[in-house]
Amino acid sequence: QTLFHNPTGGQGQFPITQNVTVVEGATANMTCRVDYNDNTSLQWSNPAQQTLFFGDKKALRDHRIELVRASWQELTIRIGDVSLSDEGQYTCSLFTMPVKTTKAFLTVLGVPGRPEITGFTKPAMEGDIITLTCTTTGSKPAANIRWFRNDKEVQGTTKMNATGKSFTVRSSLQFHVDRRDDGVAYTCSVEHVSLPNPYMTTEVLEVHYAPHLEISHSLNIPQEGQYLKLECVSRGNPIPEPVLWSKDGGELPDIERMIVEGRELTITTLNKTDNGTYRCEASNHLGTSSAEYILFVYDPNALGQHGPDHALIGGVVAVVVFITLCLIIVLGRYLARHKGTYLTHEAKGAEDAPDADTAIINAEGNHVHAEEKKEYFI
């Protein structure tokens, strides 16, 4: 940052200076010059009004302060290993009558210390409440702290305290611990104007939690003669050990065909006697867990390739029978509704006869041709 100062704007009689900003521990060059000088000396003084250099003559015994250039038009000095206490307003004086002065401000940036994270308990227990605190000291101005859970930023609570001219900054992060925090990296990032890149420190959280077991199986439809592999998949920290297998509440009945290797149980040459409930159990210092698998061994002859055809045929027959029953019921109701509403040829003849004798003759004639009699439904 550079700001040139010429208080009056006159033609060369007032000294010209510039503000300087440096990082603590670096070197600051302070320059004062005039455009026109009639052999008048220039002088630099510190914020305590102590003369540092009068022309090319060193006035203050400080090994950190050196002369860079001295002439009638310029006086440049160097302050090495700058500390926060060097910050302030410096004065360049031109010894004319009256003396003309110009101010230059030296800003010193305090570099923050590398952050430290406290509050980690190794290991943490699931269900605990823990508070992580990230601390950095010596920053000026106060540093900014950010938290990250893996790569996702999370919000902490920040406090700062002034220690002399610098600041101590603390940020805290409080949360309930669960098994999803196991192996999570918590990172504290310190950002500051004096740093080209943020300072970062990371801690990985270890969480102990009770076990949880599941059984995976190699066959969806176990059949006689096949082999079946069951695996007891366990989650827990510490890893639950050992895994114990049982069948129907007791020991495995056939150790020659039921082979246990670590977390796996392999049953060779399946048969119906293997039917039952298989259980695996494991523990760590936080608890015990178990899982069960119900085995039913199928007859391969009952699961042949024609099995689905028989099932299809049976379904079709059932549908046909259902439809037939429905038709019979409908037809029966229809006949019952129209009972007695028909006439035979005999009745028809009697109705058409002009007298009783003719009616009898017509009736007898009809009996002769009884085989031709038909009934008509109306």
For 34, the token pair is 């005039």
Q: How confident is the model at residue 9 (pLDDT cuts 50, 70, 90)?
A: very low
Residues 178 and 286: their CA atoms lie apart, in Å, by 13
Q: How many CB atoms lie within 10 A of CB 7?
A: 12
Q: Tens digits of per-residue pLDDT, 17-52? A: 999 999 999 999 999 999 887 778 899 999 999 999
Reported confidence tier of residue 301, pLDDT bands at 50, 70, 90: confident
Confidence tier at 345 by pLDDT (50, 70, 90): very low
Read off the pLDDT band of 152 (50, 70, 90): very high
pLDDT in tens, 255-299: 889 999 989 999 999 999 999 999 999 999 999 999 999 999 998
Task: Label residue 354 by pLDDT band (50, 70, 90).
Answer: low
**What is the distance between the alpha carbons of residues 177 and 132, in angstroms, rounded to a whole number?**
12
Arithmetic mean of pLDDT, 158-181: 93
Provide the pLDDT for residue 339. Answer: 56
The reported pLDDT for the residue numbered 348 is 46
Q: Is the pTM of this model over 0.75?
A: no
Q: What is the pLDDT of residues 304-320, one digit of tens each?
A: 544 445 555 556 667 77
Give the sheet arrangement for strand 244-247, strand by strand: 244-247, 276-284, 287-295
pLDDT at 118 over 90: yes
- The whole-number pLDDT of residue 304 equals 59
Mean pLDDT, the chain, as a whole number? 84
Q: According to the model, what pLDDT value does residue 328 have?
A: 85
- CA-closest candidate to residue 136, choices 193, 189, 82: 189
User: What is the per-residue pLDDT across 53-74, written as a single tens digit (0 to 9) for each?
Assistant: 999 999 998 999 999 999 989 9
- Dist CA 299 CA 289 (whole Å): 33
User: What does the pLDDT read at residue 201?
Assistant: 96
| Segments of 83-206 assigned E as strands | 88-94, 100-109, 116-118, 124-125, 129-139, 144-149, 152-154, 157-163, 166-176, 185-191, 199-204
Quote the percentage of the chain above a pLDDT of 90: 66
Distances (CA, A) of 68 to 30, 58, 372: 9, 12, 148
**CA–CA separation, 352 and 373 (whole Å):** 17
| Per-residue model confidence (pLDDT) at position 98 | 87
Distance CA 278, CA 128 (A): 35
